[in-house]
Structure 1
Amino acid sequence: MRILRVFFPLLVTLLSLLSACNTDRKDKTSQPASADAPPAINYGVVATYPHDTNSFTEGLLMHQGMLYESTGSPLEMPNTRSLAGVLNLQTGKIDPKVEIDRNLFGEGITFLNHKLYQLTYREKKGYIYDATTFRKTGEFALTTPEGWGLTTDGIHLIMSDGTDKLIYLDSATLKPVKTIHVHDHTGPVRNVNELEYIHGFIYANLYTTNYILKIDPATGTIAGRIDLTSLAMDARSRNENSLEMNGIAYDSASRNVYVTGKFWPSVYAIKFNH
């Protein structure tokens, strides 16, 4: 009986361990594979240029060989302005081409069909300018509560609104014609911000993070992710007021991508496989 009393607890313990191992194995195989996560995209820094630390960056793009920046104007930050213009990479200063009232808060910009388009944050409207004279020629209504980033595929305007949505606007009517939802292996991805269209993909800042997302416009799937934490840390080490990364501009001539952020002291030219 003593032998049975000793052996029986050992048998129960052994069976419990085997059951636990089987359960662990089942749980592990039911978890999403790490390969499902968006792959990391490596990059290298090609050059560094000055950037105005008063610029609350909302958009960045190349047009006819010149780098353009748009900025916003939080009312609690009196040194900020809502403007769009050519960014001088020698000085970091913007040569303003358009400027709106600070209360309207400028957002993303893009050029299409000889026009410059500019979004506003919460006014539910955008502005249209002649791309040569920068004279204001019209306005258009937004169907979303907020306007964030703006780019073009050469046919449509594509805008973000701070959610997981990317909204395509007809270039003639400026009405929505299609919406895609950005997602990864875990589900919807919100806070999609400033946009840039590069070789058939939409690249987007992910607001409050140091990531740029590579988005497949056919499905909304995130096809890759660039981690710019090292650049954000470098910017903050030289200006403690540096905020989130914001701004992506592709130069088709050099194949460089320019990136910066709100109040960053630098614009970085980086290179990666698009």
Structure 2
Amino acid sequence: MRGLVLVPLAACFFLGSLPGMASDGGELRKTSSGGLAPERLRVEVLEALAHDPGAFTQGLEMYAGRLYESTGMLGQSSVRVGLPGQTPAVRAQLEDSLFGEGVTVIGRTMWQLTWQNRVAIKRDSQTLAELRRLPYAGEGWGICYQRHRRRVVTSDGSAELTYRDPENLREISRISVTDDGRPMTHLNELECVDDTVYANVWGTDKIAKIDTTTGKVAAVVDAEGIRNTDTRAGVLNGIAAIPGTDQFLITGKYWPTMFKVRFVRPVDQ
């Protein structure tokens, strides 16, 4: 891996900030219209964990202490669940004609999207057994569940997020995502944290932190420093919040490593 620095955990204490000031006393960057521009963050690596190098990771989510992961590619698509860094305890394979995409858990059930097959699969979240299939319009990319709003959020590679009914994935509404006033396209794998959605930006080492009320990008995380140098490893894809903490698990397609991280300000800010 290139540029990986393991940073020891440290206790940090933050004082309240004055308007227009960052919590470390630095002035927040302004947009041309006078508003606050998205924060620029980096990844602080806390721990490196084993990850299946044969997994073309499409979705990643922590729920009830277990890690759910969906993988893609025709003939190789699957969904699996287990403890982070360990061999999955349960695994379900998709038929060869389906290209698996994002996954999200909703209590005893879960949804798994497919890319261009126009079908979504509802599963038992404990056994991964298929319960039913529903038609799904357009391409399936990322998916996550906002529990407090009782809605599913999905992406399709565009600059839009779609809000859906968690029972049947019926579209409720859409919102356009903008970074400093410009559309942010290629939104891919998603992770819901309260009113925020974290999105991998396809083809890059960046993760966007999106306000799901306004559609504005609140921060952009640059994760370039942890990219694997394994010759088969692909792009960054897969982000799972660790409930009750400020930490995340992130990985990529065919990466042999998964990282436990925090998103922090660059040291020069």
TM-score of the alignment, normalized to the shorter chain, above 0.5: yes
Alignment correspondent of 2:253: 262
- Taking the aligned partners of 1:88 and 1:128, their CA distance within structure 2 comes to 22
Q: Distance in 2 between matches of 1:131 and 1:50?
A: 23
1:207-232 deviations in Å (ceiling 9; x for gaps): 00000000000011101010000011
In structure 1, C-alpha distance between the alignment counterparts of 2:83 and 2:48, rounded to whole Å: 13
Once residues 66 and 88 of structure 1 are traced to their aligned partners in structure 2, the CA distance between those partners, rounded to angstroms, is 5
Q: Is residue 102 of structure 2 the alignment partner of residue 108 of structure 1? A: yes
Q: Compute the displacement of 1:89 (Å).
A: 3.6
2:92–2:128 contact (8 Å) kept in structure 1: yes
Q: Do the aligned partners of residues 132 and 96 (structure 1) sit closer, same or farther apart at CA in structure 2, a change above 3 Å counting?
A: closer
The counterpart of 2:179, out of the listed 184, 190, 193, is: 184
Indicate how the Cα distance of structure 1 residues 35 and 172 shifts in structure 2: closer, same or farther if over 3 A, else same: closer
Q: What amino acid sits opposite 1:194 in the alignment?
A: E
Partner of 1:97: 91
* Alignment correspondent of 1:172: 167
Report how far residue 51 of structure 1 moved: 1.1
Bigger Cα Rg: 1
Measure the CA separation in 2 of the matches of 1:143 and 1:126: 9
1:246 Cα shift? 0.3
Matches within 5 A, 1:165-244: 165-232=160-227, 235-236=228-229, 239-244=230-235
Contact 2:65 2:83 (8 Å CA) reproduced: no
- 1:152 matched to which residue of 2? 145
RMSD: 2.1
How many correspondences in the alignment?
A: 233
Q: Distance in 2 between matches of 1:222 and 1:228?
A: 16
| 2:243 paired residue number | 252
Q: Is contact 2:195–2:213 with CA below 8 Å preserved after alignment?
A: no
Aligned to 1:8: none
Q: TM-score, normalised by structure 2?
A: 0.80
AA at the equivalent of 1:257:
F
The answer to whether residue 134 in structure 2 is matched with residue 140 in structure 1 is yes
Contact 2:55–2:253 (Cα < 8 Å) also in 1: yes
Deviations 1:52-97 (Å, cap 9, x if unpaired)? 111100011101101111100146xxxxx21111244444x43443
1:103 CA drift (Å): 2.2
**Structure with greater helix percent:** 1
SS class of match (2:225): helix
Unaligned 5+ segments in structure 1 are: 1-30, 76-80
In 2, Cα distance between the equivalents of 1:217 and 1:42?
22
Structure 2 unaligned runs (5+)? 1-30, 265-269
How far off is 1:36 after superposition?
A: 5.3
Q: TM-score, normalised by structure 1?
A: 0.79
CA-CA distance at 1:34 after TM superposition: 9.9
